Amino acid sequence: MPLLVVVLGAALLLSLVCGAGIGASGLTWGEVLRYLWAGLSGGTISAEQVPAYTIVWELRFPRAVLAAVVGAGLSGIGVAVQAMVRNALADPFVLGISSGAAVGANAVLLFGALGALGVWALSAAAFGSALLAMTLVYAIARTPRGLTPLRLVLTGTAMYYGFSAITTFMVFAAERGEAARSAMMWLLGSLGGANWASVPIAATAVLAGLTHLMWSARRLNALAMGDETAASLGVDAGRLRKELFLVTAAVTGAVVAVSGAIGFVGLMVPHAVRMLVGADHRRLLAVAPLMGAVLLVWVDILSRAVLAPVELPVGVLTAAIGVPCFVLLMRRNSYSFGGV
Query: Percentage of residues in the chain with pLDDT exceeding 70?
Result: 94
Contact by Cβ (8 Å): 231, 182 = no
Task: Express each pLDDT in 193-208 by its tens digit.
Answer: 788 988 998 899 999 9
Calculate mean pLDDT across residues 40-66. Answer: 90
pLDDT band at residue 65 using 50, 70 and 90 as cut-offs: very high
Q: Which pLDDT score, from 0 to 100, does residue 36 have?
A: 93
- The better pLDDT of the pair 308, 291 is held by 291
Q: Look up residue 315 and give its amino acid.
A: G
Calculate mean pLDDT across residues 230-256. Answer: 85
73-331 architecture in CATH?
Orthogonal Bundle (1.10)
H helices of the chain, where?
Answer: 2-21, 29-41, 50-53, 61-85, 97-111, 121-141, 149-173, 178-188, 199-215, 217-224, 227-232, 237-259, 265-277, 281-305, 314-331
Q: What is the mean pLDDT of the chain?
A: 85
Q: Which pLDDT score, from 0 to 100, does residue 338 have?
A: 46
Say which DSSP state 174 is in.
S
Identify the weakest region by mean pLDDT among 54-63, 217-226, 242-251. Answer: 242-251
Residue 340 pLDDT greater than 60, yes or no: no
Q: Model pTM? A: 0.88
Residue 337 pLDDT greater than 60, yes or no: no
Length of the chain in residues, anyone?
340
Give the residue extent of every domain in the chain.
73-331
User: How many Å apart are CA 27 and CA 19, to the nearest integer?
Assistant: 13
Q: Which pLDDT score, from 0 to 100, does residue 60 have?
A: 93
pLDDT band at residue 210 using 50, 70 and 90 as cut-offs: very high
Task: Express each pLDDT in 294-305 by its tens digit.
Answer: 999 999 999 988
In Å, what is the CA distance from 210 to each residue of 41, 194, 325, 331, 338?
Answer: 28, 22, 25, 31, 20
Q: Which pLDDT score, from 0 to 100, does residue 334 have?
A: 52
Torsion of CA 301, 307, 310, 315, to 10 degrees: -60
Task: Express each pLDDT in 79-136 by its tens digit.
Answer: 998 888 877 777 777 778 888 888 888 888 788 777 777 767 877 888 788 888 888 8
Residue 293 pLDDT greater than 90, yes or no: yes
Backbone angles phi, psi at 309, to 5 degrees: -85, 0
Calculate mean pLDDT across residues 182-193. Answer: 79
- The better pLDDT of the pair 191, 123 is held by 191
Q: Which pLDDT score, from 0 to 100, does residue 236 have?
A: 86
User: How many Å apart are CA 68 and CA 86, to the nearest integer?
Assistant: 27
User: How many Å apart are CA 283 and CA 63, to the nearest integer?
Assistant: 28
Residue 336 pLDDT greater than 60, yes or no: no
